Structure 1
Amino acid sequence: MQVQASGSQRTNTALWPWGLTLLRVVVGLAFFMHGYQKLFQMGVGGVGGFFGSLGVPAPGLAAIVVSLVELVGGLALIVGLLTRVFGVLLAVDMLVALLLVHRPNGFFAGDGGIELVLVLGAAALSLALTGPGALALDNQLPIERRFAGRDRSALAAGRG
């Protein structure tokens, strides 16, 4: 299907699911690796100590929650399971990281700034809004098929 965009630009929507799949898998891998790093390299105690130094309430519990959200959420994105749910959770995770950790350091990731968490958070939220794309376990779930049907209907009507 082709959709008329602004002006004379046309977009082939047949490739959209594959673009989303690429985004989902790469972003999922990044989150999975960060969760793995927190759990198995830094350790929950190290992450909790860091969170405590930032004034995060219940830093030990927060360390476990954040580490598991990133590890499990990353894996879920890779396989495309509960993509919209984990997209929201990971976007919130990145928003909190942006506000509590990275904001004082400016923009660039090399300086500990917001660049990476901003991109990862926006990508996670984008996946929550658009769905998983192709080759996703979500595509076998009835609720995702209802979402996808509505998305395609809106797109065909020129509202998407």
Structure 2
Amino acid sequence: MTPLNRRDLGLLVLRVGTGAVLVAHGTQKLFGWFGGGGLEGTAKGMEAMGFHPPKESAMAAGIAEAGGGVLLALGLATPAAGAAVTGNMAGAVSVHAPAGFFAQSGGFEYPAFLGFTAAAIGVMGPGRYSLDHATRHRFDGPWILAAAFAASALAAAAVVGRRARGQIGADVDPGAEKDQGVDTLED
């Protein structure tokens, strides 16, 4: 294999693997698949964690994970998919940060890893074995990369800031995800 083919094959494996993990987590939130809480259970968990409105927050998280995962796996609209996942994982990191870094202690290690991986794929591009390449990069131009990550950063800051404001004086339980059957991305 030439170095270019190895790079493209490596990106394909990384995209499909990361995308599959995200689709599984997103469908837990949206449909209750794979032992997840579904939209209602996820909404209860979101409310307990300080995300408001809870049902819309649950839908947004599930769509970002499932939709972003599908797009990453296919290599379609890769910068936007990477940005959506990265922004969503910033919200997950905000929930797990008080527990420290390591996942076994409920920390933010796993959502941070998924966020950094999605960001790297979004910035690097999907490689030759992708729908973006097949469509001559109509959905992943340089301006899309800049716009997608700027929008994602603003949205993540708004969600995390809104959650933080809602927590002032509130009793927020970061472990509520498990209580409501919501996968916390560390299992």
Scaled to the shorter chain, the TM-score interval is: 0.7 to 0.9
1:115 corresponds to 2:115? no
Aligned counterpart in structure 2 of residue 106 of structure 1, from 73, 93, 100: 100
Q: Cα RMSD over matched residues?
A: 2.1
Q: Does the CA-based 8 Å contact 1:106-1:114 persist in structure 2?
A: yes
Calculate the TM-score normalised by the size of structure 1. Answer: 0.78
Aligned counterpart in structure 1 of residue 43 of structure 2, from 48, 51, 73: 48
Residue in structure 2 matched with residue 155 of structure 1 by the alignment: none
Residue in structure 2 matched with residue 143 of structure 1 by the alignment: 137
1:85 corresponds to 2:76? no
Match for 1:57: what amino acid?
H
**Deviation, structure 1 residue 82:** 1.0
**Deviation, structure 1 residue 74:** 0.8
Calculate the TM-score normalised by the size of structure 2. Answer: 0.67
SS in structure 2 at match of 1:26: helix
**Deviation, structure 1 residue 90:** 0.2
Residue in structure 2 matched with residue 94 of structure 1 by the alignment: 89
Q: Partners of 1:145 and 1:60 in 2: how far apart?
A: 30
Q: Partners of 1:66 and 1:53 in 2: how far apart?
A: 15
- In the TM superposition, 1:15-34 aligns within 5 A as 15-34=6-25
With a CA cutoff of 8 Å and minimum separation of 6, indicate the structure with the bigger relative contact order.
2
Q: Partners of 2:139 and 2:38 in 1: how far apart?
A: 39
Q: Runs in 1 of length 4+ with deviation above 4 angstroms?
A: 144-148
Q: Does the CA-based 8 Å contact 2:89-2:112 persist in structure 1?
A: yes
Aligned CA distance change for structure 1 residues 106 and 83 (closer, same or farther; 3 Å) = same
Unaligned runs of 5+ residues in structure 2 are 143-187
**Deviation, structure 1 residue 146:** 8.2
**Deviation, structure 1 residue 15:** 2.1
Aligned CA distance change for structure 1 residues 140 and 55 (closer, same or farther; 3 Å) = same
Query: Higher Cα Rg: structure 1 or 2?
Result: 1
